[in-house]
Amino acid sequence: MERLFAMAMTNIICSTNMAACNIFLGTDIVDVERINRLIQKYGNTFLFRIFNVNEIAYCWRTVKSANSFAARFATKEAFAKALGTGIGKNVGWKDISVGKKSSGEPYIILSKKGKNKIKALGISSIKVSISHTKTLAQAVVMLIK
């Protein structure tokens, strides 16, 4: 199976057996200590501005909660970048949340506003990859049209 890839900014156009698709790619990397400082300084004000209740509960249950918060922060940023809008008027922090399947695979959960945005763009699938070390969290989000 032949795959041809051409990249223009964050939009990748692929062709597989004559069936075309558009892939919109977003990535972000976050300093875990920066997130930890924000949590220490602003506490729940910061957390509830960025994350929903389920995300906060999940992250506090992990051994290294700052790493989990940073990974989710990076995922939200990467998703917004893949949309081409960034965080703001079109999609906000709480319009995007991150879940985790029993297999460990992360996935995006969208608010009604977020769902309407991807529907308007014709997005049929969202793929997420999250990774972190002691000091950095990174996410890649792929929106497939």
Give the C-alpha distances (Å, rounded to integers) separating 54 from 6, 47, 114.
38, 11, 18
Q: Which of 76, 132, 134, 145 is catalytic?
A: 132
% of the chain at pLDDT higher than 70:
86
Active site residue 81: yes
**How many residues can be counted in the chain?**
145
Residue 7 predicted with pLDDT over 90: no
pLDDT band at 19 (very low <50, low <70, confident <90, very high): low
Listed range (8-17, 21-30, 70-79) with the worst mean pLDDT = 8-17
141 close to 127: Cβ distance less than 8 angstroms: yes
List, in order of start, the domains of the chain with CATH numbers: 27-144 (3.90.470.20)
- Give Cβ neighbours of residue 78 (< 8 Å, ≥ 6 apart): 26, 27, 28, 128, 139, 140, 141
% of the chain at pLDDT higher than 90:
79
Minimal CA–CA distance to 73: which of 85, 57, 59?
59
pLDDT at 22: 87
Q: Which of 64, 76, 81, 100 is catalytic?
A: 81
Active site residue 94: no
pLDDT band at 46 (very low <50, low <70, confident <90, very high): very high
Interatomic CA distance for residues 32 and 50, integer angstroms: 15
Residue 24 backbone phi and psi in degrees, to 5: -105, 125
Name the average pLDDT for the chain: 88
Could you read off the pLDDT of 112-145 as tens digits, one per residue? 999 999 999 999 999 999 999 999 999 999 999 8
pLDDT at 90: 84
